[in-house]
Amino acid sequence: MPRKQAKRIGLAIVGAGRVGLIRAELAARHPQVDWIGLAETNPERGEIVREKCGADFVTTDFRELLARPEVNAVVVATDEHLHVDPVVFAAGRALPMLIEKPLATDLTESAQTLDAVENSGVDAVIGYTQRFRRRWLVAKEKVRAGALGEVTMVTTRAFMNRLVAIDNYRRSDNRAEVTPMVISGTHALDIVMWLMEGKQPVEVYARSVNKALGPTWQGVDGTAYTIAFDDGALYHGVISWALPEIWPGAVYSLEVGAVGTEGVLTIDDTHRDVVLATNLIQAEGYAPDRRRHVDFLTSYPVGDMALGELRGPMREETNSWLNRVSLGVPTQHATAREGHNRLMLTKAIDLSARLGRALPLPLTPADEARALSQAKR
């Protein structure tokens, strides 16, 4: 089989925050990346990231960046509610994209964005980073190979430090769209839907609580939900991102159980196997609190800094996507359609919790608008 001619990459990164910086530094080391441009609304931050990754161009206007002739691939790493405009613009130029999840935070905008992507024929994938961890790849392979027989029931329990929630509420101008499901629960949901690939969800029932984050942040503490599938399979999940700041999980603590007709698969992803306790203030995790002196190490989903480099799934994911663009090799990234599906499911879960009743699936933007209108009467 002849070797493929590698495509040289001129990479545009829209959004130079935490994730944008990580992607930029990794791209700067990839052998096929010849040019990097940044778009960041905060000029000072843009200059900081430019210096760290050696970018060739920086601007505050993503349109200026995406119009550059050097650009033939795009990372969209803005805040979650700001994905739509750069994705649609990049789709208009038929540029392959890696888009941080979710595709959008509004269901109508997500559907419109998906249409723009699919009508352009562009290769756009969503940053569900957990698909690049060894444990989930092994789980996917065992389910795919039939080790469980027919999967009949899956359960997940996700616990998160409330520092994540507070950070998201501070950055958002529409807190109604910042929920534990849309922002964080979507990771566990994607893993489960990936494991149950081919099954069609037909109904969801959910409930939420808001006693910890509600009074100060007008937010949701956590949500419990059950999704029924067309073949009778069930998925029950729980997520809370309202655990106190001193909770030692730096970010994510997850337990998964999948039961089939011939087997069972359990996965402890709580990170309680590597525990650090110290008198010194820790810098581990998402946004460390000065009161934290104990940490479950490796619970930051993107990976960990070790010996001066990021190690873990975001490194694997970024390099894999760059190889996808350069060599055309297949990868396990979530597609844009899967990204829209995950947002639809999280929106349906949140809406069911708000209305206090089961909802049929799939949920369309018209269904959502109609239900919300009826709820206000």
pLDDT digits (tens, 9 = 90+) for 73-85: 999 999 988 999 9
Domain positions in the chain = 9-129+319-334, 131-301
pLDDT digits (tens, 9 = 90+) for 45-90: 999 999 999 999 999 999 999 999 999 999 999 998 899 999 999 9
Indicate the CATH number for domain 9-129+319-334.
Answer: 3.40.50.720
Cis ω before 43 (30° cut-off from 0): no
Quick check: 295 pLDDT over 90?
no
Q: Does domain 131-301 correspond to CATH entry 3.30.360.10? A: yes
pLDDT of residue 336: 97
What's the half-sphere exposure (Cβ side, CA atoms, 13 Å) at 9?
29
**Of 156-170, 213-227, 268-282, where does mean pLDDT reach its minimum?**
268-282
Q: How far apart are CA 87 and CA 124, in angstroms?
A: 9
pLDDT of residue 337: 97
Quick check: 176 pLDDT over 90?
no
Higher pLDDT, 288 or 12: 12
Confidence of residue 366 (pLDDT cuts 50, 70, 90): very high
Return the axis-axis angle of helices 336-355 and 365-376, rounded to nearest 10°.
20
Quick check: 286 pLDDT over 70?
no
Share above pLDDT 70 across residues of the chain, in percent, rounded to a whole number: 96
Confidence of residue 172 (pLDDT cuts 50, 70, 90): confident
pLDDT of residue 266: 98
Q: How far apart are CA 14 and CA 66, in angstroms?
A: 9
Rg (CA), the chain: 21
pLDDT of residue 339: 97
pLDDT of residue 1: 42
Cis ω before 86 (30° cut-off from 0): no
Confidence of residue 119 (pLDDT cuts 50, 70, 90): very high
Confidence of residue 173 (pLDDT cuts 50, 70, 90): confident
